[in-house]
Structure 1
Amino acid sequence: MAAWNIAVFALYGIDKWKAKHQRWRVSESALLLCAFLGGSLGALVGMEVFRHKTKKWKFRILVPVFLILQAAVALWIIR
């Protein structure tokens, strides 16, 4: 999970760099899917560090929701 979150964090950074340099971008649905599939912590940290997608309501709401759900599942598995 740590490696996946680092990869998602990097993906958000890469997409921010591409946005600044007018390059081909990673789709919003791909970014959200990566967060949903266990990379929500990396996505949330990437959003804050790179100041990327912080004004988009989908990201401001869904990424924290994904993080809460993933934490709840992790706690349930541990118990």
Structure 2
Amino acid sequence: MLAAGLHPYVAWLVGWSIATFVFYGLDKSRAQGGGARIPELVLHGMALLGGFPGGWIGRSYFRHKTLHHAFLLVLILSTVLHAGIALWLFRA
């Protein structure tokens, strides 16, 4: 357990989710105003590493990547993958 009382896996998901949300916002800002974009592979990797909640929230909040079916697929895959990991880690 971490000092904040979170299981390390939950802390991992929270950290990656915050980072992924920020990166979605940064990419949206750069898409609108110019500048170096965040590669799609980076956003996909962040979701797969555990940032899928931040990806779902960022996708909706920033209205970003909503027409890209690959992002939807990766977020669904990440959600299912991490649900399986959580079920395995927290089984009674």
TM-score by length of 1: 0.93
Uncovered stretches (5+) of structure 2, i.e. residues with no partner: 1-12
- In structure 2, the partner of 1:54 is 66
CA distance in 2, matches of 1:73, 1:60: 20
CA distance in 2, matches of 1:11, 1:71: 23
Aligned length: 79
The percentage of aligned residue pairs carrying the same residue is 38
Structure 1 stretches of 4+ moved >2 Å = none
Q: Deviations over 1:24-67 (max 9, x none)?
A: 10000110000001111111110011011110010112212211
TM-score by length of 2: 0.81
Q: How much is the aligned-residue C-alpha RMSD, in angstroms?
A: 0.9
- Summarize the alignment of residues 1-79 of structure 1 with structure 2, pairs less than 5 Å apart: 1-79=13-91
| Kept after mapping to 2: 8 A contact 1:44/1:64 | no
Uncovered stretches (5+) of structure 1, i.e. residues with no partner: none
More helix by share: 1
